[in-house]
Amino acid sequence: MPTALITLLTDFGGRDPFVAAMKGVILSIRPKATIVDLTHEIPPHGICEAAFTLKSVYRYFPKGTIHVVVVDPGVGGSRRPLLAVNRRGRFIAPDNGVLSYIYRDEPSTQVYQLNAQKYRLKTYSPTFDGRDLFAPAAAWLSKSIAPEKIGRRVTDYIRFPIPEARRLKKGRLEGQVIHIDRFGNLITNITRMDIEPWLSAGKMPAITIKGRTIKGLKPFYSQAAPGKLSALINNDDHLEIFCYRSSAQLILKNSNDEPVTISWEP
């Protein structure tokens, strides 16, 4: 039987017993499972934040890893529980768009609706699918149960449009903040690939957000002056606005979706 590697990504936090209950269910079915907590600090109901977090980490896990995502404001309602399968792994999540980056990055993904009663807890509650449906499904999958045995193929799953940077006149780019990390760094949807042609031509970016302009890119955080807004291309190849030893979010008082533009100087 293959080794079971299961990750958990939720908005449950660490105060309540929800995560522990899910782990108990998994280990009761597959005692030798290895469970990795991606994070449980997604903001409550933060579907877009969870989608971005999953996108940023799943590729670094071994192929075949089972990823369980429980950010589920529609629990108990009409939304469907899903299993997505592709060359990188298996993803169990509610059908609310949280797997949108997975569908984009792995176009061969096959999606199943989890509907086999046999592979959920007998004491099922409609208010806690994480424990009663997603956790047991993950554990059974880790025992080489075929996806077809626990669900039926679907093609009408929900996916939200992923914002892409837009090219404007004279090479200008327009993007937006899509994630804010715990350091107050602002991650945008502008990528290294978007700006590489101008960087290769020796152009210097002038990055504007909320009326503030940042000129040039730093190679790493500590090369910036403390307390000064700066920018770099981060470890995930996204343009990131930061403030060394401070918080760009606190300085700018902004949130997700804030517009960001880039123009070019000789």
| CA–CA separation, 231 and 214 (whole Å) | 7
Q: Where are the beta strands (DSSP E) in the chain?
A: 5-10, 34-39, 65-70, 81-85, 89-94, 110-114, 151-154, 166-167, 173-180, 186-191, 204-209, 212-215, 229-233, 238-243, 259-265
State the pLDDT at residue 32: 94
Where are the CATH 2.40.30.90 domain residues in the chain?
A: 166-265
DSSP 90: E
CATH of region 166-265: 2.40.30.90
pLDDT of residue 256: 84
Average pLDDT over residues 221-244: 97
Give, in order, the Cα–Cα distances in Å from 70 to each of 146, 151, 182: 22, 18, 20
User: What is the rounded distance in angstroms from the CA atom of residue 244 to the CA atom of residue 221?
Assistant: 6
Beta bridge partners of 209: 212
pLDDT at 61: 97
Over range 166-191, report the average pLDDT.
94
As a whole-number percent, the residues of the chain with pLDDT over 90 amount to: 93
The reported pLDDT for the residue numbered 169 is 86
Name the nearest CA neighbour of 90 among 72, 121, 66. Answer: 66
Q: What is the pLDDT of residues 12-64, one digit of tens each?
A: 999 999 999 999 999 999 999 999 999 999 999 999 999 999 999 999 999 99
Q: What is the pLDDT of residues 136-174, one digit of tens each?
A: 999 999 998 999 999 999 999 999 999 999 999 888 999
Q: Which residues belong to CATH 3.40.50.10790 in the chain?
A: 5-154
Query: What separation in angstroms does the CA of 76 have from each of 130, 139, 153, 177, 245?
Result: 11, 21, 21, 32, 43
CA distance 133 to 256: 32
How far, CA to CA in Å, does 251 sit from each of 2, 43, 176, 254? 49, 21, 17, 8
pTM of the model: 0.93
CATH number of 5-154: 3.40.50.10790
